[in-house]
Amino acid sequence: MTNTNAETQQLGPIRQWIKDHPTIWEFIVFNVLSNISTIARFVVTWIGTAVFVAGLGLTAPFHFLIFNYPESGNGLGGFLTFLFAEVIAQVVNFFVQMKWVFKSDSSFKDAAWKYAILAVVIVVVNLVLPGYVTSLCQGWGLNAGLAGTIASVVNTVLAVVVSYPLLKFWIMPKNKDAKASDAE
């Protein structure tokens, strides 16, 4: 795309770069604003670990179907911690992504059921994985809080890799008019 010098000066170099690279900018905004749900996930993980593991001592092994939270993975308390953390993070993320990142004009009900499917997949994976990651980290000598934080980081990275393309193209696509104006 060729821009005149006057256009570049009027927009400024950063805004011009954003205009010239809307998809890259959207991915950057997606990652930056995803941190709102990531912060929610971490806060709930820390609170849950303090309440369920340290406070209530719910560290008895928890094994149900695909979920495996041995005592070294904080047991039932670890499972409850990650369950609450994931549910809160996914609710926060839905609204952030729909309204601020993708600025989707999809109807709430059309996007919500699709997001619910994605969220269930993410939540199940993010509930299965932490038991193993936490146990591994504690086996390396890390404390419960740090092990839980590392498990949350692993969950977050995995969620980004899976969710961005699904959100952009399936759950929260822009209508054709919005796509045409973005391409200009």
Q: What is the dihedral of CA 37, 38, 39, 42, to 10 degrees?
A: 120
pLDDT of residue 17: 93
Residue 8 has pLDDT above 60, yes or no: no
Pairing state of beta strands 62-64 and 67-69?
antiparallel
pTM over 0.75: no
CB 130 within 8 A of CB 149: no
The alpha carbon dihedral of 46, 48, 53, 55 has a sign of positive
Domain ranges in the chain are 22-183
Encode pLDDT of 84-105 as tens digits.
998 898 899 899 999 899 988 8
3-state secondary structure of 63: strand
CB 96 within 8 A of CB 31: no
Q: Closest by alpha carbon to 168, among 124, 118, 109?
A: 118
Encode pLDDT of 43-66 as tens digits.
999 999 999 999 999 999 999 888
